[in-house]
């Protein structure tokens, strides 16, 4: 089963949107297998957004991500990385389609509520950055046979 990292950013926490967003993932049928609160340091922010540290706007990303705690989650499911990215919507909240998380809750390019890993390989790296083996929970979900068919 594929895994991905979701971060409920300070914009989600400060606006009281975490419950609604977690609920969307649950209703979709994705399984939460790890979850914790976390406070980004500038160093961890630079590691997580290493592809953007050279950009002129990077200082605004650091200020935004370190402004308050975040919630880190590991979600599990078939094709989870792609499914969660499509639920998240494109980076700019003003351009993200209605029905996506960013499209429904964000009016901003920077303050766009959630992070979601963009590939299976990056998901692995990002999950390893924040979670260790004992943070994961393996449990049966009685609804499993109603979320997936035998063909999935
Ligand atoms: P995504 O989060 O959609 O995968 P990126 O990895 O390109 O997008 O960017 C990481 C985060 O950096 C974005 O979610 C957004 O918060 C912020 N960001 C990206 N581009 C800009 C920009 N041009 N100006 C301000 N913030 C940006």
* Structural domain span for residue 47: 2-132
- In this structure, the residue with its CA closest to atom 14 of ligand 1 is 91
Copy the structure tokens of residue 45.
């922010």
Question: Of all protein residues, whose CA lies closest to atom 16 belonging to ligand 1?
Answer: 110
- 51 a catalytic residue: no
pLDDT tens-digit profile of 41-62?
Answer: 999 999 999 999 999 999 999 9
8 Å CB contact between 38 and 66:
no
Residue 121 has a pLDDT of 98
Q: For atom 6 of ligand 1, which residue has the closest CA? A: 49
Let me know if residue 9 belongs to a domain: yes
Note whether residue 151 is domain-resident: no
* One-character DSSP codes across 94-130: TTSPBTBHHHHH---SS--SEEE-SSHHHHHHHHHHH
* Number of domains composing the chain: 1
Structural domain contains residue 149: no
Give dist(CA 106, CA 86) in Å, integer.
15
Q: What is the mean pLDDT of residues 71-92?
A: 98
Question: What count of other Cβ atoms lies within 10 Å of the Cβ of residue 96?
Answer: 20
- Report the pLDDT value the prediction gives residue 134, as an integer from 0 to 100: 98
Domain-located, residue 90:
yes
pLDDT-based confidence at 38, cuts 50/70/90? very high
Return the number of other C-beta atoms located less than 10 Å from residue 46's C-beta: 16
Atom number of ligand 1 nearest to Cα 91: 3
CA-CA distance, 129 to 114, in Å (whole number)? Answer: 17
39: DSSP letter: -
Biggest CA pair distance of the chain: 49
49 in any annotated domain:
yes
DSSP 66: T
Residue 128 lies in a domain: yes
Model confidence pLDDT, tens digit, residues 58-81: 999 999 999 999 999 999 999 999
Q: Does 146 map to a domain? A: no
- pTM more than 0.85: yes
Which CATH number is 11's domain given? 3.30.70.141
Closest CA to 101 of 26, 15, 24: 24
115 alpha carbon – ligand 1 mean position (Å)? 9
Residue 139 lies in a domain: no
CA gap 5, 34 in Å, rounded: 9
């Amino acid at each position: 089963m594929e895994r991905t990292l979701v971060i409920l950013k300070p914009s989600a926490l400060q606006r009281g949107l975490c419950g609604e967003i977690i609920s969307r993932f649950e209703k979709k049928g994705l399984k939460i297998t790890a979850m914790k609160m976390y406070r980004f340091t500038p160093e961890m922010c630079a590691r997580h957004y290493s592809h953007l540290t050279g950009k002129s706007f990077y200082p605004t990303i650091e200020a935004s991500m370190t402004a308050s705690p975040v919630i880190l989650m590991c979600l599990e499911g078939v094709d989870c990385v792609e499914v969660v990215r499509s639920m998240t919507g494109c980076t700019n909240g003003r351009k993200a389609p209605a029905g996506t998380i960013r499209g429904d809750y964000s009016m901003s390019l920077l303050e766009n509520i959630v992070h979601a890993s963009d590939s299976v390989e990056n998901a692995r790296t990002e999950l390893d950055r924040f979670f260790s083996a004992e943070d994961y929970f393996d449990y049966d979900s009685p609804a499993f046979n109603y979320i997936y068919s035998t063909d999935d």
